[in-house]
Amino acid sequence: MTDVLIVGSGGAGMSAAIAAREAGATVVLITKSALGASNTGRAQGGIQAAIAADDSTADHFDDSFAAGHSDARPQLLRTLVEGGPGAIAWLDSLGVAFTRDDDVLRIIRCGGARRPRLLQAGERTGAEMVQALRAAVRESGADVRESTELSALSRDGDSWVARVRAKDGSETEISTRAVVLAAGGGLAGEAARLGLKSTNHPDATPEVMELAIALGAQAEHLDSWQRHPTGALWPAALAGYALPETTRSYGATLHDVAGERFVDELAPRDVVANAIIRIVEEGRGATAPDGAEGVWLDTTAIDRENGAGFTAKRLAYVHNRYLRQGVDITKERVLVYPVLHYRNGGLVIDEQGATTLDGVFAAGEITGGVHGTNRLMGNSLLDTVVFGRIAGRSAARRPLA
Ligand SMILES: Cc1cc2nc3c(=O)[nH]c(=O)nc-3n(C[C@H](O)[C@H](O)[C@H](O)COP(=O)(O)OP(=O)(O)OC[C@H]3O[C@@H](n4cnc5c(N)ncnc54)[C@H](O)[C@@H]3O)c2cc1C
């Protein structure tokens, strides 16, 4: 019998594992493929926290609550934003090197935020986080079982029994006093069902959430999905890739086929995505060589606004990704259309990360209520750390209660 079983190794699962070990619990972590293979590792843009001198957690709350259409549970959102500065300090202590310019922390304004609040670790903040968290999980003494997925969960008196399947198809059982579900929002699975593209890692499948719901766990806003406004439409080889929101933070503008701008590029994501869809529906979209329709993202504006060489330096990853397809985004605008990206809703939790199933906790994209029905960019990575650590600690304390 282990104290805590953690399902998933994105930001939420790994943060939970570290916290549970710090609280003295024995931990088994199972994950579908390699430790850290997750949506978290794909995150490029950054993580939000109110740490700038002119910022406050109250403003972070207000921006996030408004963007989520007032559908967030206020106490969960308050826990998220108030945990922001501490989460950044914790990641820093684990070795995540947040980007500085001339020794000053780089903080960028992104869509829906009234002032700069987004921190970055290079251009691939999620990958940097995964690297640091993975090392900390390995050091923590958690029993990590890779290529192992949860296939069933059942109650056994006061504890739980998880049925897990290895890649070779063999099945075993793990008895545990508490469970932390951190298996993400599963949107790659949803996209596959709908025949759509998504930005998600192939491991992002919804069976863990569905399993919890089948056991009676409450969920909310399950069908509230977020589209990333600027999914790459052309070249076709980039389909499913989203140009990070920071392209718009740095000055890239959106245009219809006639070259007209039609939306505030730094409005919340759903506003921008809906505006693009409307433009295409009105017949004002631009057409890709394969007939797909989208709008222009004028990435050439970035260097015009910030000086030559800015894109190659600050957006090297996206710049190189397009260069490999023969497109120089500093010289050519690119075609974009919204792409399935994030599940806003999920399992109901309280401020301690407890689901409505006794002894079952959850954190990260698998949960609902933190962001309402539209998440602000950068708030999800923060969610994984703040609620991952809370859920890990709560699960560890349960057997001692
Ligand atoms: C391309 C991209 C860019 C993004 N950029 C940003 C950004 O800049 N800022 C931001 O805040 N957010 C961003 N997001 C969103 C954010 O990265 C995710 O919402 C967040 O990382 C989810 O973390 P998680 O730990 O909840 O789940 P995930 O990171 O999705 O991890 C889920 C884990 O569960 C495992 N799992 C799934 N099913 C099972 C099973 N049956 N058994 C065992 N394990 C299982 C998976 O293998 C995986 O390890 C981005 C997302 C994508 C896809």
User: Hey, which of 205, 380, 385 would you mutate to test ligand 1's pocket, going by the most ligand atoms within 8 Å of its Cβ?
Assistant: 380
Give CA torsion, residues 385, 387, 389, 394, to 10 deg.
180
**Under-70 pLDDT residues of the chain:** 399-401
For domain 226-340, the question of CATH label 3.40.50.2300 is answered with no
Q: How far apart are CA 155 and CA 177, in angstroms?
A: 10
Q: Is 9 in the pocket of ligand 1 (CB under 6 A)?
A: yes
List the residue whose alpha carbon is closest to atom 33 of ligand 1.
8
pLDDT digits (tens, 9 = 90+) for 145-189: 999 999 999 999 999 999 999 999 999 999 999 999 999 999 888
Instruction: Measure 123 CA to ligand 1 centroid, in angstroms.
Output: 17
Q: Is 44 in the pocket of ligand 1 (CB under 6 A)?
A: yes
Element (H, E) at 395: helix 379-397
List all residues 6 or more positions away from 140 whose beta carbon is below 8 Å from its beta carbon: 17, 18, 21, 22, 27
Q: How far apart are CA 283 and CA 103, in angstroms?
A: 48
Structure tokens at 12: 């939420």
Q: What pLDDT score was predicted for residue 401? A: 45
Instruction: Measure 344 CA to ligand 1 centroid, in angstroms.
Output: 12
List the residue whose alpha carbon is closest to atom 21 of ligand 1.
40
Backbone angles phi, psi at 139, to 5 degrees: -70, -25
Name the average pLDDT for the chain: 95
| Separate counts of helices (H) and strands (E) for the chain | 13, 20
pLDDT digits (tens, 9 = 90+) for 259-295: 999 999 999 999 999 999 999 999 999 999 999 999 9
Structure tokens at 26: 């024995």
Q: How far apart are CA 267 and CA 67, in angstroms?
A: 9
Instruction: Measure 330 CA to ligand 1 centroid, in angstroms.
Output: 30
Direct distance between the N- and C-terminal alpha carbons of the chain, in angstroms, rounded to an integer: 17
Q: Is the dihedral of CA 300, 302, 303, 304 positive or negative?
A: positive
Name the 3-class secondary structure at 318: helix
In the chain, what are the domain boundaries?
A: 2-148+344-400, 226-340
Catalytic, 269? Answer yes
Q: Is 367 in the pocket of ligand 1 (CB under 6 A)?
A: no
Are 228 and 272 within 8 A, CB to CB?
A: no
Query: What is the value of pTM for the model shown?
Result: 0.95
Are 294 and 286 within 8 A, CB to CB?
A: yes
CATH class for domain 2-148+344-400? alpha beta
Q: Is 55 in the pocket of ligand 1 (CB under 6 A)?
A: no
Instruction: Measure 42 CA to ligand 1 centroid, in angstroms.
Output: 8
Q: How far apart are CA 19 and CA 368, in angstroms?
A: 21
Q: Is 364 in the pocket of ligand 1 (CB under 6 A)?
A: yes
Q: What pLDDT score was predicted for residue 189? A: 86
Are 221 and 344 within 8 A, CB to CB?
A: yes
Gyration radius from the chain CA atoms: 21
Q: What pLDDT score was predicted for residue 319? A: 96
Q: What pLDDT score was predicted for residue 399? A: 54
Instruction: Measure 336 CA to ligand 1 centroid, in angstroms.
Output: 23
Q: Is 242 in the pocket of ligand 1 (CB under 6 A)?
A: yes
Instruction: Measure 33 CA to ligand 1 centroid, in angstroms.
Output: 13
201 CA closest ligand 1 atom index: 53
Q: How far apart are CA 195 and CA 12, in angstroms?
A: 28
Q: Which of 177, 269, 314, 375 is catalytic?
A: 269
List the residue whose alpha carbon is closest to atom 31 of ligand 1.
10
Q: Is 204 in the pocket of ligand 1 (CB under 6 A)?
A: yes
149 CA closest ligand 1 atom index: 42
Q: What pLDDT score was predicted for residue 123? A: 86
List the residue whose alpha carbon is closest to atom 37 of ligand 1.
183
Q: How far apart are CA 49 and CA 55, in angstroms?
A: 9
Q: Which amino acid is at 83?
A: G
